[in-house]
Amino acid sequence: MRFAVFLFLALPVAAQHGQYVGGSRHPSIGNPEAIAAGAKLYATSCAGCHGPDGSGGRGPNLVRRSLWHPLSDENIFSAIRNGVPGADMPPTKLPDDQTWQLVAFLHALIGPASENAIPGDAAAGEQVFWGSKTGCSECHAIAGRGGRMGPDLTNVGGSHPLALIKESIVEPSKDLTFLGNEGVTVTMKNGQVLRGVARNRDNYSMQVVDRKGDLHMIPMMNVKELGIKDGSPMPGDYGKRLSPLELRDLLAYLAHQVSRPQGNSPQDKN
């Protein structure tokens, strides 16, 4: 059964993810050679604590951040150079050029996908997104087109890093945080059965967005049985359903989705 819903249930909203503020004009940012050099530095100096993919370990998860305050390239440079007081993050003695290479890699890893040069054919990825093989548009909208059951993806490239977007496609239930948006099956006392996503659920009432995108206001006193899915309603087989090329192109298309003009982003240089 194809039930392609809530692609980014695992994605916190931008403020919960931790806003990333760009604006650095240092030549290392966006430079493929600097990013590659920074990746090597990260593997030898940082991966032991923060994980090889930034998903955390002894140190915090860098990709799925819970910080509320903005993060800039200069903030990252300072944290690498000076460490973090009161934490296990020590200062480093890297020279400026290597520190900026590491910043460039981290910018590519945790910055908005739209600010990085993402490989792939966005036009081909558009066909994947709106096609029947994935069913993404049944539940997700972009610029007012598509379903309403899952999160709107109009600005997904401008608000989330590529690693988190990819994770939410191929491992939708990894580190799942429902954030008040659960997949549910509601059986009413009158026999009606609703399937969809719960919104604003408490002990007295709940809202359910069904597969058609219709919103139902439900008093809990009218509910006979409530089944809550313990994983994401998003199918977990997209890593196998999509070819590596299709997945790459889909990511390129989603990375282009921003709610503002991209200006001089690296995507526009391709």
Query: Is the per-residue pLDDT at 250 higher than 70?
Result: yes
What does the pLDDT read at residue 254? 96
- CATH 2.30.30.100 in the chain is located at 183-228
What does the pLDDT read at residue 101? 94
Calpha distance 94→235 (Å, rounded): 44
Nearest CA-CA partner of 34 in 268, 235, 263, 266: 266
Q: What's the token pair of residue 9?
A: 């249930």
Query: Is the per-residue pLDDT at 17 higher than 60?
Result: no
0.75 surpassed by pTM = no
- Give Cα separations from 11 to 144, 152, 155, 174, 217 (angstroms): 20, 12, 13, 11, 25
- CATH 1.10.760.10 in the chain is located at 23-110, 117-176+234-262
Fold assignment, 117-176+234-262: Cytochrome Bc1 Complex; Chain D, domain 2 (1.10.760)
CATH superfamily, with its number, for domain 23-110: Cytochrome c-like domain (1.10.760.10)
Q: What is the mean pLDDT of residues 215-235?
A: 86
83 in Cβ contact with 90 (< 8 Å):
yes
What does the pLDDT read at residue 12? 41
Percent of the chain with pLDDT over 90: 31
Q: What's the token pair of residue 120?
A: 């792939």
Block residue for tokens 């940082």: 46
- Residues with Cβ within 8 Å of residue 101, at least 6 apart in sequence: 28, 34, 35, 37, 38, 41
**DSSP annotation string for 100-131:** HHHHHHHHHHHS-GGGS---S-HHHHHHHHHS
Q: What is the mean pLDDT of residues 62-69?
A: 61
Q: What's the token pair of residue 76?
A: 């990252």
Residue 222: how many other CB atoms lie within 10 Å: 12
What does the pLDDT read at residue 8? 44
More confident residue, 92 or 250: 250
Mean pLDDT of the chain: 81
Calpha distance 133→105 (Å, rounded): 33
Q: What is the mean pLDDT of residues 139-166?
A: 87
- Residues with Cβ within 8 Å of residue 102, at least 6 apart in sequence: 38, 41, 42, 45, 46, 80, 94
Calpha distance 99→59 (Å, rounded): 19
Q: What's the token pair of residue 241?
A: 């359903």
Q: Select from 3.50.50.60, 2.30.30.100, 2.60.120.380, 2.40.37.10 the CATH code of 183-228.
A: 2.30.30.100
**What's the pLDDT tens digit per position in 175-200?**
554 445 678 899 999 999 998 888 77
135 in Cβ contact with 4 (< 8 Å):
yes
139 in Cβ contact with 149 (< 8 Å):
yes
